[in-house]
């Protein structure tokens, strides 16, 4: 691994590499070796101020918001091409900084360039101006960029989730200050380099790694018009409160406690085994992961056996090994959090049916075995709170209505799935779920063309799709004389 990829000494501010104002650094620790593998400067409030000032100047005075959508699209396409070319480097950095398994990292990074391509295509035909007429009255509705965007992303998919914010923001004509996560900031530097090389004007994109204090300063900065955040519900609640004080625009993609409804006509063995394996992606550190599997009560014992056998068969190990499915958790504190939930078995009354410990063959690294919890009731903390690790609870249900009730009995509403031998029956159940996204019998919607986000405490607003572009636009209604509007331009 090149040292230049892992040890960064500057921020990206105002179209150039920018010396930090302070001397503190963020040391990146490998989750698998527990050894330092990289370093970035730690942003001070002065650095955040410089980044916001650059973005503010670029928005208020620079060319980017004033370019035609076609001209912005050309830059986004060039950025996509550069990101594709640098995919192997981004993959290697991700494996080192966050411990994602090497056979999963390319899938994660492979979704980045298509987001830029999608928004480039979308804005070429998007109606930024819309004419509305009634009688002799004419209104021009102009979709204008919201302004300077502060984007804050988590460590579990830093480049992917950055792209989900940066691509539509840039497509809309906004400028951006991105604060990557302290645990995994290095891969976002490759995004910054690609955007610079693609010809983005100075100040349109700025990168400032920082801690929670830096993030809060960005959120409350008067020069920032909108915050786009992905992370925990607790942090999202705080950010929403701070934005509320300034009536600042905010979109939030937060936690989840997603349920899979296995109906009584589903193939139990195949479905449960696939759900368990899928829930272990990125070591369970995925907000949309299925962490509650609801199975018919009559088949509950059999489902537990299937789930336990599957969990025990999943390879756990070094993320560099292509055979590994479950790598380490991102940090020691995260392993401690996951283990604290597993240890609730004695007080809550559920059983640890498989896993629950640290792999004996891995003395180094922050690993937790793929874990199956049985005898779980939906009111228990392990069924209500986001664990964010390789832990799945099995909960019995007494029919379709009961399964829907249990699934909806949650503060969260991010994703879910329904499994049935009858597609129409599965769809009927899916329509009743209070979630932002639901899969029926493995039918995967075409991202990035469709929106992603959640109901309830899973967030506010949507990313991806045309809805994702709307998050970065403000409608401006202008009453105009009808003579100003050419014929044929009516909405």
pLDDT at 488: 59
pTM, two decimal places: 0.96
| CB hemisphere CA count around 11 (13 angstroms) | 34
Choose the catalytic residue: 96, 97, 216, 253: 253
- Asked if the bond preceding 331 is cis, omega within 30° of 0, the reply is no
Residue tagged 């329904």 (tokens): 418
Where do the H-state alpha helices sit in 38-180? 45-60, 69-85, 87-98, 105-109, 112-125, 158-172
For the stretch 357-415, pLDDT in tens is 999 999 999 999 999 999 999 999 999 999 999 999 999 999 999 999 999 999 999 99
Residue whose entry in the numeric block shows the structure tokens 């650059």: 54
Domain 258-440 classified CATH 3.90.1150.200?
no
Is residue 474 flagged as an active site residue? Answer: no
**Number of CB atoms found within 10 A of residue 74's CB:** 16
- Distance, CA of 328 to CA of 98 (rounded, Å): 8
pLDDT at 4: 84
Strands (E), 297-355: 351-354
Rounded Cα distance, 154 and 180, in Å: 7
User: Strand locations in 297-433, DSSP E?
Assistant: 351-354, 371-374, 391-397, 412-413, 415-419
CATH code of 3-254+458-477, in short, is 3.40.605.10
Identify the residue whose tokens are 């604290």. 340
Adjacency order of strands within the sheet including 290-296? 351-354, 371-374, 391-397, 290-296, 258-262, 415-419, 437-440
- For residues 282 and 157, the answer to whether their CB atoms sit within 8 Å is yes
Q: Which residues contact 472 (CB under 8 A, 6 or more apart)?
A: 145, 146, 149, 168, 169, 171, 172, 174, 226
3-state secondary structure of 56: helix
Q: What percent of the chain has pLDDT over 90?
A: 97
* Annotated catalytic residue 174: no
| Rounded-to-integer distance, Cα 76 and Cα 478, Å | 30
User: Which residue in 427, 425, 386, 384 sits closest to 408, CA to CA?
Assistant: 384
Mean pLDDT for the chain? Answer: 97
User: What is the three-class DSSP state of 28?
Assistant: strand
Q: Do domains 3-254+458-477 and 258-440 have the same CATH topology?
A: no
Would you give the end-to-end CA distance of the chain in angstroms?
54
Give me the residues of the chain with pLDDT under 50, please: none
How is the chain split into domains, by residue range? 3-254+458-477, 258-440
Give the separation between CA 322 and CA 311, rounded to whole angstroms.
Answer: 18
Q: Which of 97, 216, 243, 287 is catalytic?
A: 287
């Amino acid at each position: 691994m090149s040292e230049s990829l892992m040890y960064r000494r500057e921020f990206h501010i105002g179209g150039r590499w920018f010396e930090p104002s302070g001397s503190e650094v963020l040391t990146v620790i490998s989750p698998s070796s527990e050894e330092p593998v990289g370093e970035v400067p730690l942003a001070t409030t002065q650095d955040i101020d410089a980044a916001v000032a650059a973005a503010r100047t670029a928005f208020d005075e620079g060319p980017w918001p004033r370019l035609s959508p076609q001209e912005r699209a050309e830059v986004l396409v060039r950025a996509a091409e550069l990101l594709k070319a640098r995919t192997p480097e981004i993959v290697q950095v991700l494996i080192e900084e966050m411990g994602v398994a090497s056979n999963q990292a390319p899938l994660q990074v492979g979704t980045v360039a298509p987001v830029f391509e999608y928004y480039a295509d979308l804005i070429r035909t998007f109606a930024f101006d819309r004419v509305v007429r009634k009688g002799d009255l004419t209104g021009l509705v102009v979709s204008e960029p919201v302004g300077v965007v502060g984007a804050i992303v988590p460590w579990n998919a830093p480049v992917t989730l950055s792209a989900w914010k940066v691509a539509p923001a840039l497509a809309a004509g906004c400028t951006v200050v991105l604060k990557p996560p302290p645990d995994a900031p290095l891969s976002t530097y490759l995004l910054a380099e690609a955007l610079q090389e693609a010809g983005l004007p100075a100040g349109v994109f700025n990168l400032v790694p920082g801690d929670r204090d830096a993030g809060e300063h960005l959120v409350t900065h008067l020069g920032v018009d909108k915050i786009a955040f992905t992370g925990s519900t607790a942090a999202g609640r705080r950010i929403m409160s701070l934005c509320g004080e300034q009536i600042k625009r905010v979109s939030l993609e937060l936690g989840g406690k997603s349920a899979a409804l296995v109906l009584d006509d589903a193939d139990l063995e195949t479905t449960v085994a696939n759900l368990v394996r899928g829930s272990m992606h990125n070591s369970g550190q995925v907000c949309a992961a299925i962490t509650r599997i609801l199975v018919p009560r009559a088949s509950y014992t059999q489902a537990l056996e299937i789930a336990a056998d599957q969990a025990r068969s999943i390879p756990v190990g070094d993320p560099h090994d292509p055979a590994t499915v479950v790598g380490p958790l991102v940090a020691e504190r995260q392993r401690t959090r996951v283990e604290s939930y597993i240890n609730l078995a004695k007080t809550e009354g559920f059983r640890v049916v498989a896993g629950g410990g640290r792999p004996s063959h891995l003395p180094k690294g922050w690993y937790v075995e793929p874990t199956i919890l049985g005898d779980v009731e939906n009111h228990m903390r392990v069924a209500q709170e986001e664990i964010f690790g390789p832990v799945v609870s099995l909960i019995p249900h007494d029919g379709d209505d009961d399964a829907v009730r249990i699934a909806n009995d949650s503060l969260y509403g991010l994703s879910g799935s329904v499994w049935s031998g009858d597609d129409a029956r599965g769809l009927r159940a899916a329509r009743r779920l209070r979630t932002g996204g639901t899969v029926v019998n493995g039918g995967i919607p075409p991202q990035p063309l469709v929106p992603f986000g959640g109901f309830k405490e899973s967030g506010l607003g949507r990313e991806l799709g045309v809805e994702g572009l709307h998050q970065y636009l403000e409608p401006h209604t202008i009453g105009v004389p009808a003579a100003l509007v050419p014929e044929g331009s009516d909405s």
